Chains A and B, each alone.
Chain A
Amino acid sequence: MANLRNFLGKSWNQRYLFLMVLPGFLIVLVFSYFPMYGIQIAFKKYSAARGIWESNWVGLKYFIMFFNDPTALRVLKNTLLLGIYSLLWGFPAPIILALLFNEIKNSVFKKLVQTISYLPHFISTVIIIGIIRTFTEREGLFNKIASFFGVDPIVFLSEPSWFRTIFISSNIWQGIGFGTILYLAALSSINPALYDAANIDGASRWRKVLHINWPHIKSTTIILLIFSVSGILGTDFQKVLLLYSPDTYEVADVIGTFLYREGIIGARFEYTTAIGLFQSVVAFILLVAANMISRKVSDTSLW
């Protein structure tokens, strides 16, 4: 009892602190926690009139439906493949660029190139799509290049076989420069004495990169790799949504776009919530697994 009084008295003294937290608390409660509560419709027959709580339970119906739906399985496969390919191509790119930036001796030139390479990061996806469309159309730059090599014009955005290439390469174009920042920060913390010592030992530049630069960016690399692996299902579906068309659904349709089409447009709320839940559970497992593996292998981990 005395404890409680003590606690309440202290809380009253700290009422300003509670007031400060209040707006943020309410926003997070309503817009982050209420939707979590809403996940239960994945197991219910949702009725807007009766509300989430009063709707009837249907068990795992929608999950079973998901695993028997060929479209949904295709969507799952596309999401995984797009994620894996994006990781394979997109992850090393900024590391290599950062190492190359680091070899530029003229600091003005280096700064200039860096600044220019960050630019696409700041441009909205919708604009990027406008540019991609311009470049890939029949009279666009890519077909000009193709025809230079004697290849017949390709309607890139209607060709399923080109979708992943276009998606991933434009992602790299957009993110490679900005992605170097963390690696460059790690590189700039290297003690110059290490290079002097290496020079005395007669180390070549390649050796210096291998034995000085790389060890210094290794832990940054691992942390970012953990994030990337856990984000493998979290493809930038907003970009896919702008880039795909019924012609390319067979490779382009991913979980996010499927949720949007079936859920928001098609109003199949329970089914798509179930798929969304499945996606977050897998993403969470991936995060934990990637973290665990990295802790075992390299002593670097998020927690």
Chain B
Amino acid sequence: MVGKEGIGSRIFDLVNTCMMLLLCVVMLYPFLNVIAISLSSSEHILRGDITIFPKGFNINGYSYIFKDPFLYSGYLHSIIYAAGSTFCMLAFTSLMAYPLTINDFVAKKFFAIFLVITMFFSGGMIPSYLLMRSLNLLDTYWVMIIPGCISAFNVLLFRSFYQSIPTDLRESAVIDGANDVQILFRIFLPLSKPLLATFALFGIVGSWNGWFEALVYLNDESKYPLQLILRKYLFTLSFEAGSGSAAMQAMLSQMKMDPKNIQMAIVVIVMFPIMLIYPFLQKYFVKGVMIGAVKG
């Protein structure tokens, strides 16, 4: 068959390959550029001639950032929020989905409808904010961990995954005298490990990258997650020269640093954990999207 390919087909292959290479460049260049800028000297940054290699190599941006205690507190809080919300999501979702797979469960239909309604209707930003305020949850760790941890969509996904587990397994366990808690923890959850791993990654990445809830619900900067610390640096150290505080400007010029040096350094620091686990991450995410698609 290969020999029969027309000239048009071969030209297409060539063009397609070139387009794909271009795509890779477009996808990767911004990240390489950011890393290069974070390691470059201010005169090259001002001239804007940095591509993917640092010019006038230095690590002043990083040494500045690493002196900021908020960076560490941001890292710590991002980890707390990501770990807490992911743990709660996995625990409560896997618990809630199990009874919904049991046809005999008296309230199965009620809870299913109870969940589905939330997929179509929600209170919205302002009523949610007022609720958190009246529950005194503003500026607490809880507000970053509990409210978002159950989503109807996830529960229904877990349910359909459980349903793919042969019912014989459950029935024979019941005959052996196991109760439902034992069945869930000894049979269903061990069989759901791939699902749990996928959702753990979803949860961790979602929480790590999220920032808006923190902006709305947290005022106390010492509880900020990393993304808000990054946001602060991006917004208060302005790119255009002349703005920003005079003391800051003086300090920066003394250190021969451009604000962008610092900003790109913190961008790299925030990006780093995601990049580190990326190969692993994308594989599971692709699987996760498929699980969702089969269901949806």
Contacts and interface: CB of A to CB of B under 8 A. Distances in A.
Interface string B250-294: 000000000010011001001100100011011001100110010
Interface stretch (B63-71, B117-125, B168-176): B117-125
11 contacts: A18-B107, A21-B95, A23-B91, A25-B114, A31-B147, A33-B118, A35-B131, A117-B27, A126-B230, A139-B48, A264-B129
Contacts of B26: 173
B16 A25 contact: no
B98 interface: yes
Given A25-B114, A27-B150, A31-B131, A276 B230 contact: no
Contacts of B155: 24
A126 B12 contact: no
Nearest to A129: B234
B37 A10 contact: no
Interface in A242-261: 242, 256, 259-260
B57 interface: no
Give the residue among A119, A134, A238 with the most B Cβ atoms within 10 A: A134
Interface residues of B, number: 96
B231 A242 contact: yes
A177 B96 CA distance: 33
Contact of A21 (B111, B134, B135): B111
Interface string A278-295: 011000100100000000
A110 B260 CA distance: 35
Interface in B6-37: 6, 8-9, 12-13, 16-17, 19-20, 23-24, 26-28, 30-31, 33-34, 37
B155 to A, nearest CB: 7
A143 B274 CA distance: 30
B140 to A, nearest CB: 14
A104 B124 contact: no
A280 B17 CA distance: 44
Contact of A41 (B9, B130, B147, B211): B130
A17 B130 contact: no
A211 interface: no
B165 interface: no
Given A103-B16, A131-B267, A133-B239, A264 B126 contact: yes
B19 A100 contact: yes
A215 to B, nearest CB: 18
A259 B125 CA distance: 8
Contacts of A129: 234
B126 A105 contact: no
A122 B131 contact: no
A294 to B, nearest CB: 14
B113 to A, nearest CB: 12
B291 to A, nearest CB: 11
Contact of A125 (B13, B209, B286): B209
Given A21-B99, A116-B28, A181-B286, A260 B105 contact: no
B102 interface: yes
Nearest to B125: A259
Give the residue among B129, B135, B279 with the most A Cβ atoms within 10 A: B129
B242 interface: no
A137 B268 CA distance: 19
Given A121-B285, A131-B34, A134-B34, 8 more contacts: A27-B150, A35-B122, A35-B131, A39-B127, A97-B23, A119-B31, A122-B274, A129-B234
A182 B289 contact: yes
A104 B24 CA distance: 14
A138 B240 contact: yes
Contact of B270 (A37, A127, A220, A280): A127
A220 B296 CA distance: 10
Nearest to A281: B121
Contacts of B122: 32, 35-36, 280
Given A118-B282, A223-B296, A273-B124, A124 B99 contact: no
A144 interface: yes
Shortest beta-carbon contacts, A-B, top 10: A35-B123, A139-B48, A38-B127, A24-B96, A124-B209, A276-B124, A17-B99, A35-B127, A31-B147, A32-B118
B184 interface: yes
A117 B27 CA distance: 6
A269 B181 contact: no
Nearest to B290: A185
Interface string B202-213: 000100111110
Contacts of B130: 35, 38, 41, 46, 52, 269
A122 B230 contact: no
Nearest to B115: A28
Contact of A199 (B1, B92, B135): B1
